[in-house]
Amino acid sequence: PDNISTLPGTLRTAGYQTSLIGKWHLGKSGTPQNHGFDHFYGFLGPQIDYFTHTNQRGELDWQRDGKPLNEDGYSTYLFADEAIRQIKQRGSNHRFFITVAFNAVHIPNAAPAELMAKYQSLPDQEATRAAMIEALDTSIGRILGALDETGLRDQTLVVFFSDNGSGGRAGGSNAPLRGGKGTMFEGGIRTPCLLRWPNHLKPAAESQQLISVHDLFPTLAAAAGVKPPTTAKLDGKNLWDSIRTGNTQDRGTMIIAGSDLALFDSGWKLIETADGTRSLFRLADDPREATNLLAKNPDVAQRLAARLEEAKNGLPAAPPPFRPGRGNPAGRAGSPSP
């Protein structure tokens, strides 16, 4: 709904210029501009061809602020070009919030010929994936370079994270974690998250704080010195002090929801699959989720199950289970965990 508070909307109210560059994938009935972004450059659907910018039906899905665009170029490079243009155009006199939602690395896999040539010793699918990753890495480096060139490095908080683990396609692996995209196992929902802000965050520090994408709204708002609206009903927690100081805190109960659900609480993780089957893990002792502790800890299982049932109130029906290679169905309330 348009009246739901968002991070870009909150920052825009505080004087930030806000942009979404890349993938929207929240339906065509609403637009990024309806949800806090001043500008949008990219595509609305779940996936596009990297060169033609057409969707699965062969229709053009490429625009700038609602106006269709026919332009040549590899999407990963074009998104970086747009981010760099906006950074240099705004300069040091304007506060800005830019989300660059790269579609890489996502099907339909494709990469520039010059990068494919570097990996010709690999099988075709692995070569394509490796070339796509290099294009992404290079593009992120170019964006960081633009911050350096404009003197904005020390003033800019950069956050990099992935939305889910690999879907198990060729060239992808979540080892040693169990499972992949579409599952509630750690291989599906535990993803990298890196932050850089010189003079505010210690270089090369490693945080043990449990954090979800849900938490980025209140956490990044706090880092910017901005308070979310008092009317906002947020699932996330403000964890900025934990990230800044390195001191972990109890995150409290956290839910990740898709076709299946996972509940995190005090070091425990309870998974409930779409058919109602439950399993219980202690992640600190068993990050690979090899041992189901449900039967050995009935009191814990009962307590977490009650919290899970309470949390499920108001959630829409679960979507069909995810099948790699068939797109990403709309989830209940999903987002990555640590």
CB 85 within 8 A of CB 146: no
Give, as one character, the DSSP assignment of residue 215: G
Q: Please report, in tens digits, the pLDDT of each residue of the chain (338 residues total).
A: 778 899 999 999 999 999 999 999 988 777 899 999 999 999 999 999 999 999 999 999 999 999 999 999 999 999 999 999 999 988 556 899 999 999 999 999 999 999 999 999 999 899 999 999 999 999 999 999 999 999 999 999 999 999 888 875 555 688 899 998 889 999 999 999 999 999 999 999 999 999 999 999 999 999 999 999 888 888 899 999 999 999 999 999 999 988 899 999 999 999 999 899 999 999 999 999 999 999 999 999 999 999 999 988 877 777 777 665 544 433 343 333 33
CB 128 within 8 A of CB 50: no
Q: What is the pLDDT of residue 329?
A: 39
Instruction: Determine the pLDDT at residue 91.
Output: 56
- Among 93, 111, 94, 5, smallest CA distance to 49 is for 111
pLDDT of the residue at 174 = 87
Token reading at 36: 């806090």
Cβ–Cβ < 8 Å for 105, 26: no
pLDDT of residue 165: 85
The answer to whether 280 and 259 are in contact (CB under 8 A) is no
Helix (H) or strand (E) holding 41: strand 39-43
Entry pTM: 0.89
Q: What's the rounded Cα separation, in Å, for the pair 225 and 11?
A: 10
What end-to-end distance do the CA atoms of the chain give, in Å? 27
Contacts of residue 332, Cβ cutoff 8 Å, sequence gap at least 6: 257, 258, 261, 315, 316, 318, 319
Beta strands 261-265 and 67-68 are unpaired
Please give the single-letter amino acid code of residue 48: I
What pLDDT digit, counting tens, does each position of 32-74 carry?
999 999 999 999 999 999 999 999 999 999 999 999 999 999 9
The letter for the amino acid at 63 is Q
Q: What angle do CA 1, 22, 63 make, to 5 degrees?
A: 85
Q: Is 208 exposed, middle or buried (0-12, 13-18, 19+ CB in 10 A)?
A: exposed
